[in-house]
Amino acid sequence: MASNLSSSHSIAVPTASHLPLNGKTILVTRSVGQSSQFAELLVAAGAHVVEMPALEIGPPSSWEALDGAIALLSEFDWLILTSTNGVSYFCERLMAQGKDIRALAQVKIAAVGEKTAQTLRHHCLQPDFIPPDFVADSLVEHFPEELTGKKILFPRVESGGREILVRELTAKGAEVIEVPAYQSCCPDSVPPSAALALQSGTVDVITFASSKTVQFFCQLAEKIFSGNSSENQLSVVASSLEGVCIASIGPQTSHTCRSLLGRVDVEAQEYTLEGLTAALIKWATGS
């Protein structure tokens, strides 16, 4: 997939020495088009933000499975959406098939995370269930009704997503129909401002909001730090980031950080961008 990254993603910082993140340079690895809100939160707290999109989102290789499921929406008891991307691409395809939200009148909707729920509301859809912990694992544990015999539509990333949700729903007796709604991949290049910040050692914190951003960041960082070296990726990237704070949005992302980078220094208690910002402020102020 071609990269559409611009040459510079550095965001200026208002100087205010009393702000908690003043003097900190934070590298944000969210996907193109999804980093601005997080960057604004960090800048408002005094940080200097450098954006390095480590994820590109696009359509799946085929719409056939999703289109087929949309044609049979009335047969489903539940629609599960676990990301804003899933919501956006599902609703886009719903309209492309000549349907609107009325097609979901008899289908209950579960949304993982408040941002996913907000995106649903933007499309005039109200979720029937939001698990309390903002993570997919929490969905099965707190599901509001018996799952035996329920038919569930799960539009999701085409490849590389976690399988535990489907396994647990199936183990509870549900029939889960998985359909690719979007695809995520590693960008082709790194903004020069981000590469320079990493090479010069001016980055204080690197933030990760998903496991895939960790994986793709490591692929990109390996090129920055070692060119075409065949040396072990973990040792090259991890050793180059010694002294840089690794900040994660939640447990699954932290697991991937430990696997690929060897550690996690900050983990959000609430698994949202606001929660990650709060965790960084706590880390920076020692409170």
pLDDT digit string, tens, across residues 155-205: 999 987 778 899 999 999 999 999 999 999 999 999 999 999 999 999 999
111 and 29 fall within a common domain: no
Point out which residues pair with 266 in neighbouring strands. 247
What is the residue range of 237's domain?
A: 25-55+187-285
129 shares a domain with 39:
no
Quickly list DSSP for 55-87: -EEE--S-SHHHHHHHHTGGG-SEEEE-SHHHH
**pLDDT tens per residue, range 59-107:** 999 999 999 999 999 999 999 999 999 999 999 999 999 999 999 999 9
Q: Residue 160: what pLDDT? A: 77
Using one digit for the tens of pLDDT, what is the confidence trace for 119-148? 999 999 999 999 987 666 788 989 999 999
Q: Where are the beta strands (DSSP E) in 75-150?
A: 78-81, 108-111
Task: Give residue 162's pLDDT.
Answer: 74
The string over 64-73, giving b where at least 16 C-beta atoms fall within 10 Å of a residue's C-beta and e elsewhere, is ebbeebbeeb
Sign of torsion, CA 16 17 23 28? negative
- Please give the pLDDT value at position 43: 96
Beta bridge partners of 152: 78, 176
Which phi and psi angles does 240 have, rounded to 5°? -70, -20
Q: Give the pLDDT confidence score for residue 116 in this predicted structure.
A: 92
Question: Would the pLDDT of 278 be above 50?
Answer: yes
**Residue 32 and residue 98 in one domain:** no
pLDDT band at 33 (very low <50, low <70, confident <90, very high): low
- Is the pLDDT reported for residue 6 higher than 50? no
Q: Last residue of a domain, which of 185, 201, 228?
A: 185
Give the CATH number for residue 81: 3.40.50.10090
Q: Which of 155, 170, 185 finishes a domain?
A: 185
In-domain check, residue 16: no
Give just the sign of the alpha carbon dihedral 212, 213, 214, 217.
positive
Please count the structural domains in the chain: 2
Q: Among the three residues 165, 185, 205, which one is the final residue of a domain in this structure?
A: 185
If you write DSSP's letter for every residue of 205-241 in order, what string do you get?
A: EEEESSHHHHHHHHHHHHHHHHTT--S-HHHHHHHHT
Of all residues in the chain, the percent with pLDDT exceeding 90 is 77
* Residue 8 belongs to some domain of the structure: no
What is the per-residue pLDDT for 240?
A: 93
**Cα–Cα dist 274/268, whole Å:** 9
Give me the mean pLDDT over the 245-274 stretch: 95
In a domain, 18, yes or no: no
